[in-house]
């Protein structure tokens, strides 16, 4: 359906009497938009409304409005897809800006709409609008993906034939994508965190006003709001209706939930996000366009697991999603840090190959002058003192051992103590008055300078080509502050991200087989913008399994396990000094994209044997782990956790029953295993490949004793409705439970 409506007059601001609606449906969710004039409105976003005959859609339109309130505007308030004060909307507007101090009261009106269904489910609705005040053309695209995730894109252009009175550009200060929420959505969950403790959940009630999370770090950050979720009170992993948004952008950004006393049209509150724009960066001359990052919205009736399921489906359906089995990694960082010595690294590689590693990554320390974190960033040539024959003796050895060779880089950064900084001090991002404080002794390169972009592309391209690199760990260890460039200190926060994306895209185009990991001091740059051009994330620098249980559980809210780097560290964690058992470290790292972050040349034969068993177990289970549904149980208290992966066809599952701390309760009572079919029959066994967990009890329960010896048949009713009494483990222990469905 394509419609064109030009020359809207003032009167058409009233809701259109004969409702024309567009209904997008996929995977049990619906978006129903009424093409009201001058601007459409969302009638419903949430549960699938089923097939909607025209009169039912019209009924939803008829019942969309609230009352006319006393002492308020004299018609029902509207909340449109491009909310402005022209509709009587007193909340966050869709866009803000000005044209040399004018055109601050936009009056958008639809010029065209188009709708296309996707045979796989969902479809796309595009609404084009124009705002005469600012000579702006606005386009909003709602794409309901087959996964049920709603990807909303928006762009705003200054008309190419701008006939406004001003020759000045239109200064865009904000563009926010918003969707309405119902009254029952009253509890907010989002995330915060710091280095080594990313994605820490925080909850609060929704009250009147704006809950706004603004990120000014030039990357999504360790405290990224990540997935701002609003739901019915007490929503959990397995239950409760929830609505969520993720901003697919790797720079400054903003998430918000807003509730005004008068509501939002017929709805109660709004959820949204967008890029946080720096004053003066986006200035649209005739023909210029600003494209907002896509905001991914999702709804579920089944709590946080329902949302995770949609996002995992969305990511797995991407043409660029990794299709090959995820190789076991050994990353050299915590094994040798900056102490690069060929013989030592060759021995490490040999041990790695022996225990079943498939990808060996040489971390920081290999390039010119890089003997510590104080020098060298920017000089992307191999250090001739440490590596007189280049990286060949190591890279070739790694390949001879049957592994892929990967390398660490941090392209956007520069140490003042580097040849690059000495040769091009003007390439450092910052004001003409001079850069502010360094961070980890480093600064950011000004990627908006085409010479810098060209230098980096050339340097990386050369490295990848020369050494046959299959994998880059792409790091980003500081925040962007005062991101301005040029003689007049123009802001370039947006341009920096665009240049980064361009650089990644260009490198990948030159090396189609190359995989890239997004790392930023661990998990400081995890978002669907960077993931559109990378193959996994380094989830956190913290390899302490106790911390990792939480970090991985919540990182998995958005990303499936195959995208989350999860490495086994040494017994004493390098980031927390906490000592953990080998089996707990191994079991925790199994539920991601596993690797080793440890000097395994110092391991005992018993430890090496266990590592070998672990890589074998991972290889056996990875088809399930990296394609199934992530499930997490809602348990009382914080002392235990139960999580797992259930095959999409329901035929197999692997769970980890985890004891985090002791608790006053001596036993668990019956604990239902989430995600199984109560009408099916299964067999179950305890996997002891990683050793037996240490127990805080005398013996039993009897099912557990038997399942350690043999497959134990059990009905779905017992497993997932009634539940199993779980053994009481000692703290920081995990038990692996494998299930297979019986025919």
Catalytic machinery residues: 475, 541
Q: Nearer Cβ to ligand GLA, position 370 or 622?
A: 370
Give the range of 384-392, 424-432, 502-510, 514-522 binding ligand GLA by CB under 6 A.
514-522
Asked if 557 and 307 count as a contact pair (C-beta separation under 8 A), the reply is: yes
Q: What is the nearest approach in angstroms of ligand GLA to the Cβ of residue 364? A: 3
Residue showing tokens 């039912």: 56
Binds ligand GLA by CB under 6 A, chosen from 266, 522, 592, 727:
522
Q: Nearer Cβ to ligand GLA, position 331 or 449?
A: 331
Q: Nearer Cβ to ligand GLA, position 479 or 541?
A: 541
Cα angle, residue 352 at apex, residues 347 and 354 outer, rounded to 5°: 95
Stated as kind and residue range, the H or E segment containing 398 is helix 392-400
Give the range of 28-36, 145-153, 182-190, 519-527 binding ligand GLA by CB under 6 A.
519-527
> Please, which residues bridge with residue 90 across strands?
none
Q: Nearer Cβ to ligand GLA, position 150 or 559?
A: 559
Residue 479 found at the interface with ligand GLA (CB under 6 A): no
- Residue 176 sits at φ, ψ, to 5 deg, of -125, 130
Q: What is the nearest approach in angstroms of ligand GLA to the Cβ of residue 538? A: 6
CA distance 521 to 706: 45
How far is the CA of 696 from the CAs of 599, 708, 732, in angstroms? 31, 17, 11
- Within 315-334, the residues that bind ligand GLA by CB under 6 A are 333
Asked if 128 and 207 count as a contact pair (C-beta separation under 8 A), the reply is: no
Report DSSP state, residue 367.
Answer: B
CA distance 273 to 213: 9
Q: Nearer Cβ to ligand GLA, position 335 or 492?
A: 335
Q: What is the nearest approach in angstroms of ligand GLA to the Cβ of residue 592? A: 15
Q: Nearer Cβ to ligand GLA, position 364 or 379?
A: 364
Q: What is the nearest approach in angstroms of ligand GLA to the Cβ of residue 615? A: 21
Q: In degrees to the nearest 10, what's the CA dihedral of 712, 715, 720, 721?
A: -140
CA distance 93 to 134: 15
Give the range of 499-507, 516-524, 640-648, 717-725 binding ligand GLA by CB under 6 A.
516-524
Residue 521 found at the interface with ligand GLA (CB under 6 A): yes
Cα angle, residue 209 at apex, residues 207 and 215 outer, rounded to 5°: 105
CB-based burial of residue 338 (10 Å sphere; 0-12 exposed, 13-18 middle, 19+ buried)?
middle
Give the range of 87-95, 99-107, 375-383, 518-526 binding ligand GLA by CB under 6 A.
518-526
Q: What is the nearest approach in angstroms of ligand GLA to the Cβ of residue 478? A: 10
Q: Nearer Cβ to ligand GLA, position 329 or 625?
A: 329
- Within 652-681, the residues that bind ligand GLA by CB under 6 A are none
CB-based burial of residue 163 (10 Å sphere; 0-12 exposed, 13-18 middle, 19+ buried)?
exposed
Binds ligand GLA by CB under 6 A, chosen from 135, 239, 259, 477:
477
- 3 state DSSP class of 618: helix
- Provide CB contacts within 8 A for 199, sequence distance 6+: 191, 193, 224, 226, 523, 550, 551, 554, 555, 557
Residue 541 found at the interface with ligand GLA (CB under 6 A): yes
> Please, which residues bridge with residue 114 across strands?
2, 126
- Per-residue binding letters, 338-377, with ligand GLA (x by CB under 6 A): -------------------------xx--------x----
Q: What is the nearest approach in angstroms of ligand GLA to the Cβ of residue 471? A: 13
Helical H segments across 424-474, by residue range? 450-467
CA-based torsion, 648, 649, 650, 653: positive or negative: negative
Joined together, the tokens standing for residue 596 give: 């080793």
Residue nearest ligand GLA, Cβ-based: 364
CB-based burial of residue 88 (10 Å sphere; 0-12 exposed, 13-18 middle, 19+ buried)?
middle
Q: What is the nearest approach in angstroms of ligand GLA to the Cβ of residue 631? A: 29
How many C-beta neighbours within 10 Å does residue 104 have?
12
Q: Peptide bond preceding 38: is omega within 30 degrees of 0, i.e. cis? A: yes
Q: In degrees to the nearest 10, what's the CA dihedral of 391, 397, 401, 407?
A: -10
Residues shown for the chain: 743
Q: Nearer Cβ to ligand GLA, position 12 or 575?
A: 575
- Per-residue binding letters, 96-115, with ligand GLA (x by CB under 6 A): --------------------
Q: Nearer Cβ to ligand GLA, position 281 or 517?
A: 517
Binds ligand GLA by CB under 6 A, chosen from 382, 414, 519, 526:
519
Q: Nearer Cβ to ligand GLA, position 198 or 258?
A: 198
Q: What is the nearest approach in angstroms of ligand GLA to the Cβ of residue 519? A: 5
- Per-residue binding letters, 571-610, with ligand GLA (x by CB under 6 A): ----------------------------------------
Q: What is the nearest approach in angstroms of ligand GLA to the Cβ of residue 530? A: 14
Q: What is the nearest approach in angstroms of ligand GLA to the Cβ of residue 331? A: 7
Q: Nearer Cβ to ligand GLA, position 308 or 464?
A: 464
Binds ligand GLA by CB under 6 A, chosen from 249, 367, 408, 614:
408
The strand order across the sheet containing 253-264 reads: 177-181, 267-275, 253-264, 209-215
CB-based burial of residue 625 (10 Å sphere; 0-12 exposed, 13-18 middle, 19+ buried)?
buried
Residue 519 half-sphere exposure, CB side, CA atoms within 13 Å?
Answer: 27
Joined together, the tokens standing for residue 57 give: 């859609």
Judged by CB under 6 A, the number of residues near ligand GLA is: 12
CA distance 223 to 364: 24
Q: What is the nearest approach in angstroms of ligand GLA to the Cβ of residue 521? A: 5
Cα angle, residue 42 at apex, residues 36 and 45 outer, rounded to 5°: 155
Give the range of 100-108, 163-171, 231-239, 515-523 binding ligand GLA by CB under 6 A.
515-523
Q: Which residues bind ligand GLA (CB under 6 A)?
A: 333, 363-364, 373, 408, 475, 477, 519, 521-522, 538, 541
């Amino acid at each position: 359906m394509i419609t064109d409506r030009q020359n809207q007059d003032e009167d058409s601001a009233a809701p259109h009497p004969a409702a024309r609606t567009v209904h997008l449906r996929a995977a049990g969710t619906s978006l129903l938009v009424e093409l009201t004039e001058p601007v459409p409105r969302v009638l419903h976003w949430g549960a699938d409304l089923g097939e909607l005959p025209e009169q039912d859609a019209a009924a939803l339109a008829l019942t969309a409005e609230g009352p006319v309130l006393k002492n308020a505007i004299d018609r029902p308030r509207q909340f449109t897809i491009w909310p402005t004060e022209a509709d009587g909307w007193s909340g966050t507007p869709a866009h803000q800006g000005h044209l040399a101090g004018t055109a601050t009261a936009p009056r958008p009106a639809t010029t065209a709409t188009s709708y296309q269904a996707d045979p796989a489910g969902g479809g796309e609705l595009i609404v084009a609008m124009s705002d005469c005040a600012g000579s702006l053309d606005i386009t909003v695209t709602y794409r309901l993906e087959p996964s049920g995730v709603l990807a909303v894109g928006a762009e705003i252009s200054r008309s190419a034939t701008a006939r406004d009175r001003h020759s000045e550009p239109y200064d865009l200060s904000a563009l926010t994508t918003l969707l309405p929420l119902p009254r029952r959505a009253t509890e907010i969950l989002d995330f915060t965190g710091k280095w080594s403790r990313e994605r820490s959940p925080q909850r609060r009630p929704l009250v009147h006003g704006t809950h706004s999370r603004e990120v000014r770090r030039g990357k999504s950050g360790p405290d990224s709001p990540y997935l701002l979720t609003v739901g019915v009170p007490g929503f959990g992993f397995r239950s409760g209706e929830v609505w969520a948004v993720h901003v697919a952008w790797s720079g400054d950004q903003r998430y918000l939930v807003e509730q005004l006393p008068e509501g939002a049209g017929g709805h109660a509150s709004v959820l949204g996000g967008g890029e946080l724009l720096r004053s003066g960066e986006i200035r649209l001359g005739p023909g210029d366009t600003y494209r907002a990052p896509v905001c991914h919205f999702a709804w579920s009736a089944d709590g946080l697991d329902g949302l995770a399921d949609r996002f995992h489906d969305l990511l797995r359906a991407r043409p660029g999603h990794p299709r090959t089995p995820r190789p076991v990694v050994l990353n050299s960082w915590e094994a040798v840090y900056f102490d690069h010595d060929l013989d030592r690294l060759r021995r490490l590689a040999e041990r790695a190959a022996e225990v079943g590693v498939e990808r060996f990554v040489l971390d920081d320390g290999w390039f010119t002058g890089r003997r510590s974190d104080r020098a060298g960033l920017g000089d992307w040539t191999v250090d001739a003192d440490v590596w007189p024959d280049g990286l060949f003796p190591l890279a070739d050895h790694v390949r001879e051992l049957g592994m892929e060779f990967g390398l660490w880089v941090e392209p956007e950064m520069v140490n003042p103590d580097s040849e690059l900084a000495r040769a091009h001090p003007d390439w450092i991002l910052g004001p003409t008055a001079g850069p502010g404080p360094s961070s980890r002794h480093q600064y950011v390169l000004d990627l908006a300078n085409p010479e810098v972009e060209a230098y980096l592309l050339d340097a990386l391209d050369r490295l990848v080509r020369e050494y046959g690199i299959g994998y880059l760990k792409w790091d980003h260890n500081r925040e962007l502050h005062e991101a301005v460039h040029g003689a007049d200190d123009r802001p370039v926060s947006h341009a920096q991200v665009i240049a980064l994306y361009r650089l990644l895209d260009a490198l990948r185009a030159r090396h189609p087989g190359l995989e890239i990991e997004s790392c930023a001091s661990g998990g400081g740059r995890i978002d669907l913008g960077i993931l559109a051009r990378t193959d996994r994330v380094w989830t956190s620098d913290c390899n302490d399994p106790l911390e990792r249980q939480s970090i991985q559980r919540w990182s998995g809210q958005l990303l499936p396990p195959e995208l989350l780097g999860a490495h086994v560290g040494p017994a004493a964690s390098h980031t927390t000094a906490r000592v953990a058992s080998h089996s707990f470290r191994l079991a925790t790292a199994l539920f991601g994209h596993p690797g080793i972050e440890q000097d395994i040349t110092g391991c005992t034969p018993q430890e090496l044997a266990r590592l070998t068993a672990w890589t074998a177990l991972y290889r056996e289970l990875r088809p399930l782990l990296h394609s199934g549904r992530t499930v997490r149980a809602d348990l009382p208290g914080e002392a235990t956790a139960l999580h797992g992966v259930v095959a999409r066809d329901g035929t197999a599952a692997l769970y980890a029953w985890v004891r985090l701390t002791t608790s006053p309760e001596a036993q668990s009572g019956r604990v239902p295993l989430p995600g199984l079919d109560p009408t099916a029959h299964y067999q179950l066994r305890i996997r002891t490949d990683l050793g037996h967990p240490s127990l805080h009890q005398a013996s039993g329960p009897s099912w557990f004793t038997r399942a350690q010896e043999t497959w134990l048949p059990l009905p779905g009713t017992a497993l997932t409705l009634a539940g199993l009494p779980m053994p009481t483990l000692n703290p920081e222990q995990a038990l692996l439970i494998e299930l297979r469905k019986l025919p």
